[in-house]
Structure 1
Amino acid sequence: MITLNDRSDGVTRAQTSLPALGVALVLLTVVTGLGVAMADTAIAGADRTPDERRVAATIADRLVAADGPLAARSNVLNQSRVDDFDQSALEQNAPPASEYAVSIELADEEIARSGTVHDGTRISRLVVVESRESRTLTPDLATTDAVTLPRRSARATVTIDPPSGTTVWTVRANDRVVLHNRSGLDGSYEVSLVPYETTELRFQRAGRLESGNVTIGYDAPQSTKETLVVTVDV
């Protein structure tokens, strides 16, 4: 038999449970909303990352290619081209940079940027950066007919000022004749060299040459290993 007090206790318990149920519903709503938001963010990030990686890899491959805007040859960058590289050159040579925020770093220093990169995806490439330093060599040809230049010198300026009674008529670079005048060479001459081999310049002459009668100007290559980093943020 249910008494009046029993009914009263039941109503009281029901009324007490209502606030707790309301709190539970609010918490459930919040947790569900956070879950949906996190799922949306994860999906957006998953959709974005492959696109960023694809664009970053495309730009990186373009910059280190043999015919790229920075390269002297494949994976070897020309320091002068690096120094001249800017946003305009980036967008011209890598069209995706006009649509995405892109940053190019070399040796931890930004050399070009389009847009604002907040985070994004990074792609790295190991490269060699090559620079050239002008040098002048004054060989002593009193006791020898030849002088050796370092590898990767692409050209040289040979200046011949023979003393009276001496004639220099041929200059060879290894096995190639690069200068010849049977009447005699006298003056400055531009000589093309093979940059992938050590070059020996040999002077065919009659008479004596002293130090200072021949000078050779050439570009000495300097190279360092660095890391090129392309960051893309969509």
Structure 2
Amino acid sequence: MTTERGQANLIGLAAALVLLATVTTGSVALASIALADADTDSETRHAAETLADRLVAADADHTRRANAVSENAIRALNTTAVDRLAPSVRNRSIRIRLGDEVLVERGDPEKTTVRRLVRVEQYERRTTTVDLVTQRSVSLPDRTETVELDISTDGTTTLTTVRANDRIVLRDRSGLSGTYEFKVARVNPPQLEFTTEDGVDGTVTVTWTETTATVEPLEVTVGA
């Protein structure tokens, strides 16, 4: 009876050892799979975050400054430009969405999504003509950055100075004539003032770029 019980105990111990080995091997295999998935997820998230950061970087071709994009330029993005911008997404499925519009899509990415809020700017050139007989100043809209002047006089008027918010931007004592371009501060709406000598017969054509903007979500999805 003792011998039979001992043999049974040995058989039970062997079975337990086999079961333990099986469970341990399976656990190691599952752990390896989990680690591999975690590594893949980490790489994908890094690629998505890198692309999102590059899309809103100040030095990108389609941005005016950090987190401010030109609407026309960003809508012209394609997969070639995206791969050049963020090499880590090459050969991966990607989707870039601005607001409700998909800008770029390759494959069917569903793995990792990163979002940013961006200022989307639209630009339109505007022109007005200042008649120096009746007008010596003009106010331009807020956020005007660059101004172009086309100065034309009849020879009896000498336009010597142009000021923007009391700052002299152009001066020529012998007379300004022709086309000029200069930048103005974005802090306040610019007001241009014109100083003349002699007669007051002449015109100044003022051209500027008017900026309007909205804030929209930029969504980047990256897959395998």
Structure 2-normalised TM-score?
Answer: 0.75
Residue number in structure 1 paired with 2:45: 53
> How far has the Cα of 1:67 moved from its partner?
1.7
Any residues of structure 2 matched to 1:70-219 within 5 Å, and which?
A: 70-113=62-105, 115-163=106-154, 165-206=156-197, 207-209=199-201, 213-219=203-209
**Residue 170 of structure 1 aligns to which amino acid in structure 2?**
T
1:69-99 per-residue CA deviation (whole Å, 9 max, x = no partner) reads 4321111012232133211110001011214
8 Å Cα contact 1:63/1:69 also seen in 2: no
Any residues of structure 2 matched to 1:8-87 within 5 Å, and which?
A: 43=34, 46-87=38-79
Measure the CA separation in 1 of the matches of 2:112 and 2:181.
Answer: 47
8 Å Cα contact 2:94/2:109 also seen in 1: no
**Residue 82 of structure 1 aligns to which amino acid in structure 2?**
I
8 Å Cα contact 1:152/1:196 also seen in 2: yes
Comparing 68-77 and 187-196, the one that deviates more: 187-196
**DSSP-derived class of the 1:139 partner:** strand
Q: Unmatched 5+ residue regions in structure 2?
A: 1-26
Q: How many corresponding residue pairs?
A: 196
**DSSP-derived class of the 1:219 partner:** strand
> How far has the Cα of 1:46 moved from its partner?
4.7
- Higher Cα Rg, which structure: 1
Measure the CA separation in 1 of the matches of 2:177 and 2:99.
Answer: 46
Comparing 117-126 and 139-148, the one that deviates more: 139-148
1:85-127 per-residue CA deviation (whole Å, 9 max, x = no partner) reads 21111000101121422211112222223x4124221111110
Comparing 77-86 and 130-139, the one that deviates more: 77-86
Distance 1:97 1:196, change over 3 A: farther
**DSSP-derived class of the 1:57 partner:** helix
Measure the CA separation in 1 of the matches of 2:79 and 2:187.
Answer: 33
**DSSP-derived class of the 2:153 partner:** coil
Distance 1:118 1:90, change over 3 A: closer
> How far has the Cα of 1:191 moved from its partner?
2.3
Any runs of at least 4 consecutive aligned residues in structure 1 with deviations exceeding 4 A, and if so which?
A: 44-47, 140-144
